[in-house]
Chain A
């Protein structure tokens, strides 16, 4: 283990080489013009497993979409003009993993491709769409991206020899690194806006910590070299998380500095005078799933509203395991989805579908009510709700259910139901990234085209 004394310049170069760019937000903000700039475009994904009861989800036609919505999507009624649905988006074909439809409905959802068959026992898939965006815009915000889930991502099952992580994650920082999601809303709140001490004041971060972490990261580079590739990945996962701590401390320092400049009139405010005040988030007591999911939605809204992050994922529930006692039955979601011709099961699955869309509707309605610039917060976002299967009964994936809300800063034309769209899930992801202004050097997963029909 021979090495030179680590230097900062080396490390920054190294980080850039690894595809990570460090932001210098403070200099950015000094350089920005006097007038507030156009609001950034944000992108969010919210997931429900096992597909939907098709005839209670898809509108019959454009008119039904606007006026007589099927039950599952009815809660979106007041803002259908802000929504867009397109039928005909197919999923990723899952052969040779036919015995693992549920692990794959989640793990292919944002990667648009299958795991590597020859190393299926490990995580080896692809960077997911949200993380591609985080690499591009993440440097501008306190958090590069936000990952939320309703339940711990610890389902243990490895059908087809697939790593159990495929059951739990939709978001991948690199082909081999799933991004773990936060499940505790209190932690998320602390993380977004700082821990509050006893007097309600935000605890100050220690600027020395950031520089200390920087040196630790520099030193770890030598350790990394001595490790096998698989082990390097494990180490990287930790180093990445340390890096994000370091970044967060830096970003908080910058924010504090900016606030001080603004206060003294040295720098202009980034906010518009017409912008709504940040929403208040209350952590609910008790264990009602709807309240829990709503607070996670609130956190997403708040993070977008305050430009704390510009891309987020929310695994509303992962395949298997979830039940919905609030709906008056205790069955697990998955067990009901193989309904055959059982009307009772169909009713229950539809109720679960509706419950999930209701939470999505709660979120986007709230965003539609918040002013930002000349329009609403929702105008500057693309919020996608969807599932990784068309229908859980037969594991079909020809017409994946998706709902888009928000215009993405004018990139999407909402208020439409498009019934004859042709394309796959990866095409859709590629299109959405184009809409939020992320340039791609190659299409995502199995994508071959963009879905022009959804664009404005």
Chain B
């Protein structure tokens, strides 16, 4: 091999050219999008929308100002909302004089789809965030060998696309209290032999004539390297040694003063927040993540835990960002048992079943919904999700598979009580085509139900949003929930007849004619996921329905098959959600362009789960950050 060719291949020769090709495509597409907004979207908005959503906002949507800056945060949001409403015939309203044809509606949605090309190439900023409760507990476990239950006293937090709710003063007192506990467990009582962790963190006890302050600085360096997930700055070391001095000045011995230093590390924002390491010396607006950031981002994504020794060593050597190395590490991390965290952090949230634990079920109607059964339901979803990741199956398996994981209480819900005995979860082959996959899974069926009955509407929304990634306009603000309507004239109606009342009201009809028929397809499953042929009133269940594209089905099995055919939609939705989770922010603008590129790559891999995870992690968005502008 010639030397230049060798160097080129080292540089990722093909990658370079595909990057150039992409950049050129992007310029063309941007020009096209600008044209479309000027010549098509503008006239459409002025003809059909501007009467109400023009100079002033109606229902919070102002398309006139959105036209001026369509790719801005607010403009693109307004357009996406508008497209969702136009698509389902929710807008323009029934009584408006000018209404677009079906073809015009389709075109409008397509035009708005080009919005992403207007956005400049931008990975977004590195969003700093506090460790979640789970991440915090795992980090204490991995670094200091304490049991992760040490963090149990922290309140549970609610996470939405990576955003946490605010921290109260009480919570930071709890951080201090937990830090006290960790230090107490790490340090042996005075006069006793040091603990193993103590030796690892602080080394052997220094000889009597040693320079103790110097030894403390060395210990501070290694404590901070692990806890801050990057080499500390000199200034950061000064602060820690200052804390050590504080201890010594107050008559603490060398060991106890180092303990105080460890406590300071544990309440430092550098530990509690995943932060970038300083301002890079760069004139560029956009820079690649440094290897330390990359290591943290990667390990917290897949493990909800800090980088292990191998990742840390690769970061120290500056090798982690190399594509081959990074891919290999993704593979290695996914093989580790810690990768089950991906379900707890991401999977459960995606499926919406993180709420199941606290969800209320009518104890009279569902006495079997015990804590043990709930736990089994969540465990089934966890194992099922885990099997698709670890066996590198296609995302299609999520909706259409022929196996699941059951124990005895859960098998009873499936009507398989005879064949599965005992509390242990095990893999079970399913022969009933209505089961298998997240549509026929008790955890998801229960989480979309009310305490005493199913909700075809919730289930319809869940299928469209969580599985297919569609955008559903929210219901008008002043509409009571169906279950709360207590008019006398609804007595004696089946839930289907009741739900179909939506379709007699103009304001409800357009969305519900899309949502409800999907939910009906799952009506054979009751509110905790048991099969039934008749409803509570003893009337036969009618589970016929159709998808928005008009395809009809008459059983859950047929609905599953139809959804399984939409593998690209399934994969795109999952990819987008994983990306938002990985970046800790909502997607929009240029992100959509990157997702398009990932879609091309994962299609070649038959939408296998590992391919999706790997492409997200090696993507431009995951490996870069904007530092200015």
A residues in contact (CB < 8 Å) with B: 1-3, 5-6, 95-102, 117-121, 147, 152-154, 156, 159-161, 164-165, 168, 177-182, 187, 191, 208-209, 211-213, 215-216, 218-220, 222-223, 226-228, 230-231, 234-235, 237-242, 244-245, 248, 331-332, 335-336, 338, 344, 395
- Is B269 in the interface zone, CB < 8 Å from A? yes
With a cutoff of 8 Å between Cβ atoms, the chain A residues found around residue B77 in the complex are 121, 161
What would 16 more interface pairs be, CB under 8 Å, given A120-B74, A230-B127? A1-B233, A96-B62, A97-B60, A161-B60, A168-B165, A215-B243, A216-B239, A222-B235, A227-B128, A231-B127, A241-B168, A241-B172, A244-B169, A245-B176, A338-B479, A395-B478
Q: Interface residues of B toward A: which range?
A: 35 or more
**Shortest Cβ distance from B292 into chain A, in angstroms?**
14
**What separation, in Å, do the CA atoms of A119 and B73 have in the docked complex?**
8
List the A residue with the shortest CB-CB distance to B257.
Answer: A208
Picked from B59, B74, B269, the residue with its CB within 8 Å of the CB of A235 is B269
List the B residue with the shortest CB-CB distance to A206.
Answer: B180
**What separation, in Å, do the CA atoms of A344 and B128 have in the docked complex?**
50
With a cutoff of 8 Å between Cβ atoms, the chain B residues found around residue A211 in the complex are 246
List the B residue with the shortest CB-CB distance to A392.
Answer: B478
Question: Across the interface, do B129 and A234 meet the contact criterion of CB distance under 8 Å?
Answer: yes
Question: Across the interface, do B59 and A212 meet the contact criterion of CB distance under 8 Å?
Answer: no
**Shortest Cβ distance from A207 into chain B, in angstroms?**
8
- Give 29 A-B contacts (CB < 8 Å), ordered by A residue: A1-B279, A5-B242, A98-B59, A99-B59, A152-B158, A154-B158, A159-B60, A161-B77, A179-B166, A180-B168, A181-B168, A191-B169, A208-B247, A208-B252, A209-B176, A211-B246, A212-B246, A213-B176, A216-B267, A219-B236, A223-B270, A227-B128, A228-B627, A235-B273, A241-B172, A242-B172, A245-B176, A332-B484, A336-B484
With a cutoff of 8 Å between Cβ atoms, the chain B residues found around residue A5 in the complex are 235, 238, 242
- Is B477 in the interface zone, CB < 8 Å from A? yes
With a cutoff of 8 Å between Cβ atoms, the chain B residues found around residue A153 in the complex are 165
Picked from A95, A164, A213, A238, the residue with its CB within 8 Å of the CB of B273 is A238
Question: Do A3 and B235 form a contact, CB below 8 Å, given A213-B267, A234-B130, A241-B172?
Answer: yes
Question: Across the interface, do B172 and A238 meet the contact criterion of CB distance under 8 Å?
Answer: yes
Question: Across the interface, do B166 and A178 meet the contact criterion of CB distance under 8 Å?
Answer: yes
With a cutoff of 8 Å between Cβ atoms, the chain A residues found around residue B278 in the complex are 1, 226
**Shortest Cβ distance from B586 into chain A, in angstroms?**
8
List the B residue with the shortest CB-CB distance to A213.
Answer: B267
List the A residue with the shortest CB-CB distance to B266.
Answer: A216
Question: Across the interface, do A156 and B158 meet the contact criterion of CB distance under 8 Å?
Answer: yes
Question: Across the interface, do B56 and A96 meet the contact criterion of CB distance under 8 Å?
Answer: yes
- Is B498 in the interface zone, CB < 8 Å from A? no
Within 8 A of A (CB), among B140-178: 155, 158, 160, 165-173, 176
List the A residue with the shortest CB-CB distance to B158.
Answer: A154
Picked from A168, A212, A235, the residue with its CB within 8 Å of the CB of B128 is A235
**Shortest Cβ distance from A430 into chain B, in angstroms?**
26
**Shortest Cβ distance from A175 into chain B, in angstroms?**
14
Picked from A154, A165, A212, A226, the residue with its CB within 8 Å of the CB of B263 is A212
With a cutoff of 8 Å between Cβ atoms, the chain A residues found around residue B172 in the complex are 238, 241-242, 244-245
With a cutoff of 8 Å between Cβ atoms, the chain B residues found around residue A102 in the complex are 477
- Is B489 in the interface zone, CB < 8 Å from A? no
Question: Do A208 and B273 form a contact, CB below 8 Å, given A177-B166, A335-B481?
Answer: no
Within 8 A of A (CB), among B259-288: 260, 263-264, 267-270, 272-273, 275-276, 278-279
Picked from A159, A212, A222, the residue with its CB within 8 Å of the CB of B233 is A222
Question: Do A101 and B477 form a contact, CB below 8 Å, given A6-B239, A219-B268?
Answer: yes
List the A residue with the shortest CB-CB distance to B129.
Answer: A234
Question: Across the interface, do A218 and B128 meet the contact criterion of CB distance under 8 Å?
Answer: no
List the B residue with the shortest CB-CB distance to A100.
Answer: B60
Picked from A99, A164, A177, the residue with its CB within 8 Å of the CB of B60 is A99
**Shortest Cβ distance from A345 into chain B, in angstroms?**
9
**What separation, in Å, do the CA atoms of A153 and B166 have in the docked complex?**
10
Question: Across the interface, do A335 and B268 meet the contact criterion of CB distance under 8 Å?
Answer: no
**Shortest Cβ distance from A347 into chain B, in angstroms?**
12
With a cutoff of 8 Å between Cβ atoms, the chain B residues found around residue A147 in the complex are 168
**Shortest Cβ distance from B366 into chain A, in angstroms?**
16
With a cutoff of 8 Å between Cβ atoms, the chain A residues found around residue B238 in the complex are 5-6, 219
**What separation, in Å, do the CA atoms of A99 and B476 have in the docked complex?**
8
**Shortest Cβ distance from A455 into chain B, in angstroms?**
34
Question: Do A238 and B480 form a contact, CB below 8 Å, given A98-B58, A165-B166, A216-B239?
Answer: no
Among B158, B170, B278, the one with the most A-chain Cβ atoms within 10 Å of its Cβ is B170
**What separation, in Å, do the CA atoms of A99 and B278 have in the docked complex?**
41
Question: Across the interface, do A99 and B477 meet the contact criterion of CB distance under 8 Å?
Answer: yes
Question: Across the interface, do A216 and B484 meet the contact criterion of CB distance under 8 Å?
Answer: no
Question: Across the interface, do B276 and A226 meet the contact criterion of CB distance under 8 Å?
Answer: yes
With a cutoff of 8 Å between Cβ atoms, the chain B residues found around residue A159 in the complex are 60, 474, 477
**Shortest Cβ distance from A358 into chain B, in angstroms?**
24
- Is B250 in the interface zone, CB < 8 Å from A? yes
With a cutoff of 8 Å between Cβ atoms, the chain A residues found around residue B59 in the complex are 98-99
Question: Across the interface, do A160 and B260 meet the contact criterion of CB distance under 8 Å?
Answer: no
**What separation, in Å, do the CA atoms of A179 and B279 have in the docked complex?**
30
**What separation, in Å, do the CA atoms of A153 and B157 have in the docked complex?**
10
With a cutoff of 8 Å between Cβ atoms, the chain A residues found around residue B218 in the complex are none
**Shortest Cβ distance from B194 into chain A, in angstroms?**
21
- Is B125 in the interface zone, CB < 8 Å from A? yes
With a cutoff of 8 Å between Cβ atoms, the chain B residues found around residue A240 in the complex are 169
Question: Across the interface, do B130 and A182 meet the contact criterion of CB distance under 8 Å?
Answer: no
**What separation, in Å, do the CA atoms of A220 and B267 have in the docked complex?**
11
**What separation, in Å, do the CA atoms of A355 and B74 have in the docked complex?**
41
**Shortest Cβ distance from A131 into chain B, in angstroms?**
13
**Shortest Cβ distance from A123 into chain B, in angstroms?**
9
